[in-house]
Amino acid sequence: MNAVLREMESTVAPLMVSGLVHCYEGHNVLTGVDLTLEPGSVLGLIGRNGAGKSTLIRLMLGLLQPLAGETFVFGEPALQLDDATKARIAYVPQQPEALAWLTAQQMFDFIGRFYPRWDAAFAKRMLERWQIPPNKLLAKLSPGERQRVDLIRALASQPQLLVLDEPAAALDPVARRELLREVALRAGESGTTVLFSTHIVSDLERVASEIAFLHQGKLLMRCSVDETKERYARLWLPGKMSAAAPVNSLSRRRHDDGSLSLVVERDAHGQWPEAANLPGARVDALGLEDLFVEIAE
Amino acid sequence: MDASLLTVQPTAPEPIYRQIVEQLRRLIAGGQLVAGEPLPSVRDVAGFHAINPMTVSRAYGIAEGEGLLERQRGKGMVVAATRKATQTASHRLALLEPQLQALARHANELELPAEPVLRRLTKLLGEER
């Protein structure tokens, strides 16, 4: 029976949303978002500032009520999670959480009791590594230190679903690399499912198994990092050939000299659009950052 | 072999798994990695470079499929004893495929006919020997 339960647990999507619509101060933020996270995947959520990444995360976790659409966490409606399900999730928001009247150590001692798999030794080790005074009030720590405490709290609870909203902001390059290592190894070895938003694209290229690009209220290009790099490229056409430009492209930019840059996609046979074979046309492979800039501009 | 021998450029247009496969092909074809030499574990490579372990597994799997690596009990992945993949000229030629494709693409962009390009390439190959 336990084996059957475990089997079911391992196949139910840690996060699932469909038809998500949300407004903020009369302004459409999300206009129909569908997203399912498979167990053990690392999804990098990217988008411009104000694209609604944090709002989407809060909606997915049931911390906000959507105008329309459904959200599920481990198969349960996100707005009515029971305590056992909550203990399987760790979420680190951009803004530090409450409990500022405690020290880091007191907060860990207090919170650790609610998590059956709390790793106190890990929490202690990381406080030292990330140079956070364990006995100083959280309220007296810098915002960066507060977010690092939150990250340690999230990792020490050994969650099955780890959700990080812009975790890189508070970390120097060495600590950021350590966090990425933790995220990558936990996903690979413990099957932790991870969702993280970031504007540092190279972080995402290292550890994400999939990316989702939030742009103008919708998710664009939901696929694996490797597939994205192999499937999309920039096609440059000289001005005299711009009439031959493929109709379906993800972005289109005309330069001052009349030439045209397009983001194009391989067809089902792995071929670029026909215009790529015209004399003078150029296809450039793109890193993710260039790709996003081309599309978001 | 140490995990630091592999280099990873996350921002490059080429996916990381392909970067790793490409380096393994070269290190093995060039003899820097010899038959029977153990490879760093997936965990070591993923941990050292802070990359997803699945990316490393995928690269190792491809290299195994090409006959470059083999799984040995107790040792993990090692450089294959037979190294079939590096023996035939056509396999070695396949290593140059990305560069050859890039060359062909650039030549077409410059609207150069094949002949002068091939003449120049032949000359270069002769000089290098």
Beta-strand pair A260-265/A218-224:
unpaired
Q: Do A280 and B14 touch (CB under 8 A)?
A: no
Mean pLDDT of B72-88: 75
Which of B 79-98 lie inside 8 A of A, CB atoms?
A: none
CA separation for the pair A11, A67 (Å, rounded): 28
Q: Do A188 and B53 touch (CB under 8 A)?
A: yes
- B50 vs A177, A226, A286: nearest CB: A177
**CA dihedral over A153, A155, A158, A163, signed as positive or negative:** positive
CA separation for the pair A166, A47 (Å, rounded): 11
ipTM of the assembly?
A: 0.81
Question: According to the model, what pLDDT value does residue B60 have?
Answer: 96
Residue of B nearest to A224 (CA): B15
Strands annotated E in B3-127? 69-72, 76-79
pTM (2 d.p.): 0.82
Contact at 8 Å (CB) between A92 and A122? Answer: no
Shortest alpha-carbon distance between residue B82 and chain A (Å): 30
- Considering only CB atoms, which chain B residues are within 8 Å of A285? 13-14
CATH code linked to domain B3-79: 1.10.10.10
CA separation for the pair A35, A44 (Å, rounded): 12
Does B49 contact A at CB distance below 8 Å? yes
Q: Do A226 and B17 touch (CB under 8 A)?
A: yes
Question: According to the model, what pLDDT value does residue B49 have?
Answer: 94
DSSP code for A103 = B
Contact at 8 Å (CB) between A158 and A115? Answer: yes
CATH 1.10.10.10 residue spans of chain B: 3-79
CA separation for the pair B9, A201 (Å, rounded): 12
Does B10 contact A at CB distance below 8 Å? yes
pLDDT band at B51 (very low <50, low <70, confident <90, very high): very high
CA separation for the pair A70, A78 (Å, rounded): 8
Contact at 8 Å (CB) between A165 and A198? Answer: no
User: Quick one: tokens of A285?
Assistant: 């492979």
Mean pLDDT of B105-124: 89
Closest CA to B58 of B14, B22, B20: B20
- Considering only CB atoms, which chain B residues are within 8 Å of A201? 11
Does B9 contact A at CB distance below 8 Å? no
- B10 vs A205, A281, A282: nearest CB: A205
- A226 vs B15, B47, B50: nearest CB: B15
Q: Note every long-range contact of A56-62, with CB atoms under 8 Å and residues 24 or more positions apart, other chains counting.
A: A56/A20, A56/A30, A56/A214, A57/A91, A57/A163, A57/A165, A57/A195, A57/A197, A58/A93, A59/A17, A59/A20, A59/A22, A59/A30, A60/A15, A60/A17, A60/A35, A60/A163, A60/A195, A61/A89, A61/A91, A61/A163
The greatest distance separating any two alpha carbons of chain A, rounded to the nearest whole angstrom, comes to 69
Does A225 contact B at CB distance below 8 Å? yes
A94 exposed, middle or buried (CB, 10 Å; 0-12, 13-18, 19+)?
A: middle
**CA dihedral over B80, B86, B90, B94, signed as positive or negative:** positive
pLDDT at residue B82 above 70? no
Residue of A nearest to B109 (CA): A280
Does A252 contact B at CB distance below 8 Å? no
A140 exposed, middle or buried (CB, 10 Å; 0-12, 13-18, 19+)?
A: exposed
DSSP code for A240 = G
User: Quick one: tokens of A40?
Assistant: 């053990």
- Which residue numbers in chain A have pLDDT < 50? 1
Q: Do A202 and B10 touch (CB under 8 A)?
A: yes
